[in-house]
Chains A and B, each alone.
Chain A
């Protein structure tokens, strides 16, 4: 299977959407208009989009605390997402979840997650539903390098394998869990961890959309055809702090700048498709412009949108006292 021109435009649009969304959230957080804990996905766009290009609304993903990118890659509405991050009533979760808990089950997005390692078991469940009800769907868990050490992750590998579930584990290794390097925290390798469970596992350069897309194509095909789980170790870099406000003194000063200059996923994509003559620069420029406008509009609307009120405090809990 090859990527059509339409696919390429869609992939680029989604990656730019993530970048612009995160840049806007970064700015608004710094300006004090967004409260709470916010973890940005900027820099990691090719990984989430490369995987989710193979998925439809019938497939599920479980994200992490760094969830905005996965949501957008899975086609969640950027406007409702922005409102949610601003805590507004019309937000995707009514303002009750915020950045760390954005979810849209109708899009197959089972939620960002405040609990590191919370997602993989849920994805085994979604894969079990798909298998039992023969929906044809697959389920993908995004797992950070730090999360990859959590017991729930190993338990999920085992469960997915012995039940032959259509599950895919994407370990997005951005080199750090908070301030701790994965060189310190991770024993063995991600690929060997998968192989220890007889789960097919590959490592890819997560800044290269095409590499991720190719690895995910194989994994999703395998899952859809009853071939069971797969693992993808996707190497990425986050551009901002662990959370907004993190001084990042644990990182070499030029780490992000060097990466941006040499490996930025949007830049790589653009170079690749224009050099191969697949798309021309002006089509990409047009996407850049329209996405920028769209995100700016989302921010303006999020700022003036109404807050939830006292009447909302006790809805969606089956009883209160």
Chain B
């Protein structure tokens, strides 16, 4: 199997789906780049180069550079989805959802239910999240929790290149609005990615490690941190199950509950702020459904309740670290150094 980056994996998914279905279009700010200028077209392919190469293949009819009008073009993608296209819109940084949230949560999310099941809205909104880029408070948030709260939206959080391709293909084929979260620190991450097209079903968690002592449930980029910690601890004889839920909506509650019950010792890792996040959500689920199986209080490892700071020194303290995950596992297992 070929090694591909997270960037290439998403790009390949988009290309293959655009080839397969002429109703799939991509749109966003500088999704190609160079529009109206006198030099290179397709100059950017989005800020991270994910969509570079689509313009020469599909033309400006299907690869649409938009003005800086998130309310306008995200809303247009939603409207186009409800009327026959299958748009993949690039919101760039998830922080910008502040500009266009109405079109997502009052419009896209609600059509199907509000209209008595008569509408489908197959729109994908790609967006970057996460800290680590020294990009400061307005370009570093992890807002997937907010979307997860809204009935009608699906939320995908691919944790590596293989996941990214399969989840993107599923997102495009899905008839509901999908918010597709790409961690900005992962675009260069490489992994095995099949050339052929494949879809990873939503709501089916991936168990990336199996162990007896603790269960770590982690989201997005944090899955990789959890895997590394699990590998390190296994050398000491502390073995962990690691669960990547893949999508926060729908959430694979079954796998979460099963794996939590198996070890009875649970750590939940979420890069978001500590209140009303996936960590609190999953902890509540386990407490409600599997309280009798718990052998220790659940530990949450999250970012602090503060905006993301610019300073490198502060941002490094801000992001949930592998050290903190390791400490949490040691704490729930009672196995210190």
Contacts and interface: CB of A to CB of B under 8 A. Distances in A.
Contacts of B99: 115, 117, 150-152
A151 B47 CA distance: 22
Interface stretch (B30-38, B170-178, B189-197, B251-259): B30-38
Interface in A234-269: 247, 249-253
Query: How many residues of A sit at the interface, in one of the four size bands?
Result: 35 or more
A249 B68 contact: no
Given A115-B96, A250-B43, A320-B304, A179 B138 contact: no
B211 interface: no
A176 B39 CA distance: 12
Interface in A129-176: 146-147, 149-152, 176
A100 interface: yes
A87 B311 contact: yes
Query: How many residues of B sit at the interface, in one of the four size bands?
Result: 35 or more
B34 A115 contact: no
Given A101-B136, A180-B35, A249-B43, A313 B30 contact: no
A95 B98 CA distance: 24
A35 B140 CA distance: 14
B306 A150 contact: no
B313 A87 contact: yes
B67 A114 contact: no
Contacts of A89: 311
A58 interface: no
Contacts, number: 169
A149 B72 CA distance: 10
A37 interface: yes
Given A87-B311, A115-B99, A180-B30, A147 B68 contact: yes
B250 interface: no
B71 interface: yes
A185 B65 CA distance: 9
Contact of A96 (B67, B71, B310): B310
Contact of A95 (B65, B67, B307, B311): B311
B69 interface: yes
B34 A117 contact: no
Which of B35, B95, B138, B313 is the most central at the interface, judged by chain A CB atoms within 10 Å of its CB? B313
Interface of B: 29-30, 33-41, 43-44, 47, 65, 67-72, 95-96, 98-99, 133-139, 274-275, 304-307, 309-314, 317-318
Given A37-B136, A101-B137, A184-B37, 17 more contacts: A37-B133, A37-B134, A87-B314, A100-B138, A117-B99, A151-B69, A151-B71, A151-B72, A180-B34, A181-B37, A184-B65, A251-B38, A307-B311, A308-B311, A312-B309, A313-B304, A313-B306
9 contacts: A87-B134, A87-B314, A101-B310, A150-B69, A179-B34, A181-B36, A183-B36, A184-B36, A313-B317
Interface of A: 35-37, 87-89, 95-98, 100-101, 113-117, 146-147, 149-152, 176-186, 247, 249-253, 307-310, 312-314, 317, 319-321
